[in-house]
Structure 1
Amino acid sequence: MHRRILIALVIAVVGAPAVLFAVGWLIFAVPSPDEATLKQISTISYADGSPMVRLVPKGGNRVRLPLQAIPPHVRDAVLAAEDRTFYTNPGFDLTGIVRAVGKQLTGGSGGGSTITQQYVKNVLVGNEFSLTRKYRELIVAVKVTQQLPKDEILRGYLNTIYFGRGAYGIETASQAYFAKPASQLTVSEGALLAGLIQSPTNWDPARAPDDARRRWEFVMDGLLDQDRISPGERRAARFPPTVAPSASTGWSSLDGENGHIADAVRAELSALGVDGTAIARQGLRVTTTIDPSRQRELVEAVREQVAGQPEDLRSAAVAIDPATGGISAYYGGDKGLGTDYAQVLKQPGMTFTPFAVLAGLLSDPPVDTRAISSSPGGATSCTVCDLRQALATSDTGLFSRLANLVGPPAVVDAARKAGITAVIDAPDASVALGVKEVTPLQLASAYATLAAGGVYHPPHLVSTVVDVNGNVLYQRPERAGEYRFSPETARAVAETMMSVPPLGGFELPQGQQAAVQPGTVGSRTYGQSNDAWFAGFTPVQAAVVWIGSDRNVPLLDQEGTPVTGIGLPSALWYRYMAGAVLDLGKADFPTFGQGDPDTGEPDLDASSPTGGTGWGGCPEVSGSERC
């Protein structure tokens, strides 16, 4: 009996690996480098999963050189860096694989690999850290070793391996780092490139010069040990300078409006810890928060409104879902290769004044707005105005007084609570009038917080990230957001903004209410403007529109009329939001108390800090001087 058990154990120990190997040999084919290239290209999708763009590095269309066209000293440098026994080993390091498996089982990662294994892993199989991938890697490595001569494997490796800066293969890497073909690489330059292979993004000399030099020294010493260079050549060698990344290769940007979305997604992925190497190697599938219908509506709205306008006008627009902070639509300009105006700092004008209102509500005790509104305003049509009328008539004097009452730093703090992240130094009373710069994206985020009842959600584009094998690398957590101020406070701020829509001559479908605010930034030339904004929200969508120029000069439309917030920006905003209402449906703002049965206006009790004759109401005045 014991003998039978022993025999069974021996058969299991010896036979099981053999069976696994045989099964793997039958099911794992050797993909071509071209097939692998397609799998490595990352894609960005809309929220519904439909494709938006492909993230193709400029080196993605690899320049495949014959082995003879790659200088011998460059080949020797790569062998010295990655596999000094390449021409004598069987194509895989069984000890290294066992070590890597052991690390996987104990929670670690990594393990030594031959060039053949690297070629298989990074080009043919994928870079997923798993036992399944290691299993497939071993099988395909053995197949490749049997099917291809060593020179062919080395040629494939040198033409497809990733070197950073969006460069696949030695030819594009040579252009990326030295702005010349691989045939002209020196020994030192070849050694630098060879040293980058293990960690191309982290060891880029432009990013980590000390690490790059350490790797270069390692490769040069390896060349000396392998008798590929003489001691004199080693002593004379100098660490080579490289061109700046911005002057070399990178990602192939799209020349349309989606190019800015792709750039913003890459930046967000980087902040999440997904670097350029992962994007280049792992064939990521990135699902965004961009709603395809909302994006199409926004782009059409921009094109419709700017058609026939002067060519020097620039525009940006951002829409955000207040419930999540997800960016529903994004337009940074029609040239993806140029400036992303959705993230350019500009003075927001009166679109910043709601944060002065918010500061007054958040002050302890809340500012008595009746004391402010009892003083004559600026150039307005009424002798006495409350904050709602002051916003509607752009009464700058009242908001400057409000900023003085609460303190300019309190206005900045309120804006930060809402979501403004720009640096605002040395604020004075004029900060309430939008003299400090913010971006359209930041302003949309802050307005979304007001729309969400004081709950802040970080604005974001990335929803999920999945690798080519279907492994989820990132999933946006479903969290409730961060409570910044009360729903009553947010509703009271919104109340001050609800008399503006009729002034723009527009109405949203289905009687949808909106809280909005235009902003016009004056020019040095009297009566002219340099920036024009329109911003606002419904309960389910916050959107901001900016129109300006590159030269910060007076804005004129096709009729030669100054561009202001009420005009091109407001028309664009309403065009987009009308579609949003039709798509998403009408949504009611929250009310507190019984409210007026005829108008639906909330009952903001006069005894509260948001009382009817303060934030949301209108002081009783005689005659026709009514707000």
Structure 2
Amino acid sequence: MGRADDRRARQRGARRAKAKKTGIGRFFTWKKMLGTFFGLCLLAMGAFVVLYLYVPIPKANAEMAQQSNVFKLSNGKVLVREGPVNRENVHLSDVPLKVQHTFVAAENKTFYKDNGVDLRGTARGLYNTVRGRTQGGSTITQQYVKNNYLTADQTVSRKLKELVVSLKVDQKYSKSEILEGYINTSYYGRGAWGIQAAAQAYYGVDASKLNVSQGAYLASLLQAPSDYDWSSASPEGKKLVKARWAYTLNNMTEMHWLSESERAAQKFQIPQDPKPSKGLKGQTGYLVKAAKQEMKAQGVSDAEMDAGGWTVTLNIDPKKQAQLEKTMKQQLIEKLKPKTRPVDADLQAGAVSVDPHTGKILALYGGWDYLKHEYSNAKRTDYQPASTFKPIILAAALESGAKTQGGKLISANTLYDGTSKRPVVDSNGNKVGFAPPNEDDHNYGKQVTVQSAMNDSVNSVFAQMGVDVGLDKVKQLGVDLGLSRLDNAQAVPAMTLGSYGASPMEMAGAYATFDNHGKKVTPTIVKSATNPDRTPLTLQKAIGDQVVSRQTADAITSVLTGVVQKGTGTVVKNKDQKVAGKTGTSDNNKSAWFTGYTPDLVTSVGLFGEASKTHKGPDGKTILHGTQVTMSGAAGSPTGRINGAGFPAQIWAAYVFGLDMKPSKFDLDTDQGAAVQPSFTPSPSASNSPSSPASPSTSATASHSAPPPPSHPVTPPSPTDSGTDAGTDTGADTGTTNGNTSTGTGTTDGNTSTGTTDGNTSTGTGTTNGTSNGNGNGGPLGGLGGGNNDQTG
């Protein structure tokens, strides 16, 4: 081989060596790269198939199921939202269609056509996540899945899971269901979760009342709730949210959800400023608590309520509620000076106003402030209703056709002995050990009509009448009228003077039954309630069966108009409006009442003495916080005493007559009482002689057990807490029942009464300008049947 051939051979070898890849480069041929790409695609597809098959739709996040309980007034205005989160889910059908479209236009125009995911957006999100950046879900379905099923964690695994679950959710649920879930689980700022809470927070309306402009703003908020809240947004934030608002509306026009003319007419509506939640302060807590208690009585457990999601509409009339609160403030609260007059701090007030035809509670006053005194004075049953109980005795007499000891049928014109401290006698003429004094120990004579006795609240008359009727019958009627404490009580003579506890709500219900011509009225505060599944709660009927005949009920109304026209209730007398009512004041001035009614409204007002703190009493003994105490001297009362004819009646009159109601008259089916005939003044020779006592008995034989203790930590009433109205309060008893002793003292002129029960001694000190001796049936509250019951008015 020549030199030339050798050179050419070397050149050919060099070219072949140059053409041959060496090192890592030999692995990256275009064929290999293409094969690898398709292999990876197949692997990814296989992995996705496996992921799709094995990743289920998770259980919804528990916090996304949480809702607040929403309490509304009768006009639909939200009173308060209560619960772990401010959310009230609504059906998509409750949201106007154009408002629905604002969310789709703002977030996902292709929502109704896509399969629930945006692959490009998801890929972009994965890329940004790998680089440490944030990227939101692209479609409404993906955002809903993130809200309802997953978390907001920015991880690749979470985003892959979001992709799979979104596809499955889109297959399983309709677009309407997904959109409904999305607008209910999204956060809008101001503590508002879901469109209903947002509509209230930003525009003060329900979601069903939103217009397109408002909907477009709420839809725009979802991009940046804090930055886009108009009340706190920077100038740049306001500019951006208005731009997004316009973008949303323009997209609606593009999608033909909004016409050009409708788009041109849209004006940006500035949201209202944030309003701090009033929570349960003031009267709100009392209203909510009363509603919850009523629902619990209907079978709704505390756990069910605490879970949230209830929408409860109350019967409360906003105007009447506002008027009642205003009246309490003007007639009483503004007169209190607890810093300079300590007794003022011990004064509590409660009131309930009821429609007698429907049973609806139209207004309720539970106390000065729920956050300061959680126990509702409107519903407390631990204070005596005193003389407001007397109409029930007369009703029992009329209904049963009862007669006096002299055999005369009891009616408004029946004569009784009105002598103070006259011993009460049974059907055999034996003394029963009960001889209550009248107000100021006043004697009304031996011939006083029942009408006059009601007008002046003559204790001796109604104590005897109760025995004439039969104490068991009086008690049963009280139970039938809704006085819960009588249910397990002993029927003793002192009961006739209202010695068992009752609440303003119960007394309002009892008097409403009289106003409703004898048909039972159970005051109800809940108008309607729906559970989280939007199933309505079946409510009890507020109007029940006939408790007493119409004639009996109407006769009571007729008689009670006399109390207002000529008796202790004249402070509520009105020349245009017919009113029936009764005052009451308990012994030692621990409670004072006025319960009255017009043909269309029944209202019971009660004032109660309750120790505001633990302190030493005048006698050096410790008085515990919550203990029943006297109200005497509170609010600068000119007489020193708080009686039913004073503040309670004044509050009642200012409230009722301040409502500007149209004057009305009672439609009465009766021929007796002040409303249908003039008061009867008996002549000295009247033949209808009253009952007279026979020889005294030596001791009582019945023993009585105490009623259930009050749920509120207050001391039980003293044995003879019964009291006076427009008169002097007198003492309490010291009594023993079945060997258990309770002691209380209260003297005026230092006179004493004693009595025994089952061989045990019951001693009471306290009379008014005289001496009262009672050999007593020891009562259920420690000597309740014995001693003095000086309570009138």
Both structures adopt the same fold (TM-score exceeding 0.5): yes
What is the letter of the counterpart of residue 581 of structure 2?
V
Q: Quick one: distance in 2 between partners of 1:304 and 1:372?
A: 42
What is the letter of the counterpart of residue 296 of structure 1?
A
- Alignment TM-score, normalising by the size of structure 2: 0.46
Map of 1:164-313 to 2, 5 A cutoff?
254-281=280-307, 283-306=309-332, 307-309=334-336, 310-313=344-347
Equivalent position SS for 1:255 = coil
Residues 403-445 of structure 1 deviation map (CA, whole Å, 9 limit, x = unaligned) = 1111211111121222222235112122111011111111111
Counterpart contact for 1:465–1:474, Cα < 8 Å: yes
Q: Quick one: distance in 2 between partners of 1:281 and 1:119?
A: 20
Equivalent position SS for 1:369 = coil
Would the alpha carbon gap of residues 410 and 521 (structure 1) be closer, same or farther in structure 2, given more than 3 Å must change? same
Map of 1:368-517 to 2, 5 A cutoff?
368-369=409-410, 373-378=415-420, 379-380=441-442, 382-383=444-445, 384-422=447-485, 423-467=487-531, 471-474=534-537, 476=539, 481-502=544-565, 503-507=568-572, 511-517=576-582
What is the letter of the counterpart of residue 606 of structure 2?
W
Would the alpha carbon gap of residues 496 and 543 (structure 1) be closer, same or farther in structure 2, given more than 3 Å must change? same
In the alignment, what sits opposite 1:27? none
Q: How far did residue 255 of structure 1 move?
A: 2.2
Please say which structure displays the higher CA radius of gyration.
Answer: 2
Q: Quick one: distance in 1 between partners of 2:451 and 2:310?
A: 49
Q: How far did residue 488 of structure 1 move?
A: 0.9
In the alignment, what sits opposite 1:317? 351
Would the alpha carbon gap of residues 271 and 594 (structure 1) be closer, same or farther in structure 2, given more than 3 Å must change? closer
1:562 aligns with 2:641: yes
Q: CA RMSD in A?
A: 4.1
Q: Quick one: distance in 2 between partners of 1:433 and 1:314?
A: 22
Q: Quick one: distance in 1 between partners of 2:320 and 2:508?
A: 15
In the alignment, what sits opposite 1:532? 592
Q: Quick one: distance in 2 between partners of 1:122 and 1:575?
A: 58
Q: How far did residue 288 of structure 1 move?
A: 1.1
1:60 aligns with 2:85: yes
Equivalent position SS for 2:328 = helix
Residues 346-386 of structure 1 deviation map (CA, whole Å, 9 limit, x = unaligned) = 11110001111011112245552379624234345742321
Would the alpha carbon gap of residues 480 and 141 (structure 1) be closer, same or farther in structure 2, given more than 3 Å must change? closer
Q: How far did residue 270 of structure 1 move?
A: 2.1
Equivalent position SS for 2:653 = helix
Q: Quick one: distance in 1 between partners of 2:149 and 2:306?
A: 14
1:572 aligns with 2:637: no
Q: Quick one: distance in 1 between partners of 2:174 and 2:361?
A: 44
Equivalent position SS for 2:378 = helix
Would the alpha carbon gap of residues 274 and 119 (structure 1) be closer, same or farther in structure 2, given more than 3 Å must change? farther
Q: Quick one: distance in 1 between partners of 2:317 and 2:150?
A: 33
Counterpart contact for 1:444–1:535, Cα < 8 Å: yes
Q: How far did residue 570 of structure 1 move?
A: 0.8
In the alignment, what sits opposite 2:379? 343
In the alignment, what sits opposite 1:592? 669
In the alignment, what sits opposite 1:602? 676
Q: Where in structure 1 are there 5+ consecutive unaligned residues?
A: 1-29, 63-115, 124-133, 148-152, 154-251, 524-528, 604-615
Q: How far did residue 275 of structure 1 move?
A: 3.4
Give the helix-richer structure, 1 or 2.
1
Would the alpha carbon gap of residues 273 and 428 (structure 1) be closer, same or farther in structure 2, given more than 3 Å must change? closer
Q: How far did residue 622 of structure 1 move?
A: 6.1
Q: How far did residue 36 of structure 1 move?
A: 5.2
What is the letter of the counterpart of residue 470 of structure 2?
G
Equivalent position SS for 2:364 = strand
1:621 aligns with 2:653: no
Q: How far did residue 475 of structure 1 move?
A: 5.4
Q: How far did residue 344 of structure 1 move?
A: 1.4
Equivalent position SS for 1:40 = coil
Greater alpha carbon shift after TM alignment, 413-422 vs 352-361:
413-422
Counterpart contact for 1:418–1:454, Cα < 8 Å: no
Would the alpha carbon gap of residues 403 and 51 (structure 1) be closer, same or farther in structure 2, given more than 3 Å must change? same
Q: How far did residue 283 of structure 1 move?
A: 2.7
Greater alpha carbon shift after TM alignment, 497-506 vs 371-380:
371-380
Identity %: 23
In the alignment, what sits opposite 2:21? none
What is the letter of the counterpart of residue 50 of structure 1?
K
Residues 159-199 of structure 1 deviation map (CA, whole Å, 9 limit, x = unaligned) = xxxxxxxxxxxxxxxxxxxxxxxxxxxxxxxxxxxxxxxxx
Q: Quick one: distance in 2 between partners of 1:279 and 1:321?
A: 27
Q: Quick one: distance in 2 between partners of 1:418 and 1:143?
A: 52
Counterpart contact for 1:508–1:578, Cα < 8 Å: no
Q: How far did residue 389 of structure 1 move?
A: 1.2
Q: Quick one: distance in 2 between partners of 1:403 and 1:137?
A: 72
Q: Quick one: distance in 2 between partners of 1:398 and 1:455?
A: 27
Equivalent position SS for 1:474 = coil
Q: Quick one: distance in 2 between partners of 1:474 and 1:588?
A: 36
Equivalent position SS for 1:427 = coil
Q: Where in structure 2 are there 5+ consecutive unaligned residues?
A: 1-57, 88-143, 152-168, 186-277, 337-343, 421-440, 612-627, 686-793
Counterpart contact for 2:472–2:491, Cα < 8 Å: yes
Equivalent position SS for 1:343 = coil
Q: Quick one: distance in 1 between partners of 2:453 and 2:681?
A: 12
Equivalent position SS for 1:563 = coil
Greater alpha carbon shift after TM alignment, 364-373 vs 493-502:
364-373
Counterpart contact for 1:256–1:335, Cα < 8 Å: yes
1:46 aligns with 2:73: yes
Q: How far did residue 511 of structure 1 move?
A: 1.6
Q: Quick one: distance in 2 between partners of 1:344 and 1:122?
A: 48
1:548 aligns with 2:612: no
Q: How far did residue 142 of structure 1 move?
A: 12
1:359 aligns with 2:400: no
Q: Quick one: distance in 1 between partners of 2:350 and 2:523?
A: 16
Equivalent position SS for 2:537 = strand
Counterpart contact for 1:253–1:336, Cα < 8 Å: no
Counterpart contact for 2:287–2:364, Cα < 8 Å: yes
Equivalent position SS for 2:606 = strand
In the alignment, what sits opposite 1:91? none
Q: Quick one: distance in 2 between partners of 1:253 and 1:339?
A: 17
- Alignment TM-score, normalising by the size of structure 1: 0.57
Counterpart contact for 1:519–1:564, Cα < 8 Å: yes
Counterpart contact for 1:324–1:481, Cα < 8 Å: no
Equivalent position SS for 2:71 = strand
Counterpart contact for 1:377–1:397, Cα < 8 Å: yes
What is the letter of the counterpart of residue 579 of structure 1?
G
Residues 461-509 of structure 1 deviation map (CA, whole Å, 9 limit, x = unaligned) = 111113567x451254778531111111001112221122244453455
Q: Quick one: distance in 2 between partners of 1:430 and 1:272?
A: 34
Counterpart contact for 2:572–2:649, Cα < 8 Å: no
Residues 278-316 of structure 1 deviation map (CA, whole Å, 9 limit, x = unaligned) = 445553221111111111111111111221222221000
Equivalent position SS for 1:498 = helix
Q: Quick one: distance in 2 between partners of 1:443 and 1:434?
A: 11
Would the alpha carbon gap of residues 473 and 142 (structure 1) be closer, same or farther in structure 2, given more than 3 Å must change? closer
Would the alpha carbon gap of residues 619 and 277 (structure 1) be closer, same or farther in structure 2, given more than 3 Å must change? same
Counterpart contact for 1:377–1:385, Cα < 8 Å: no
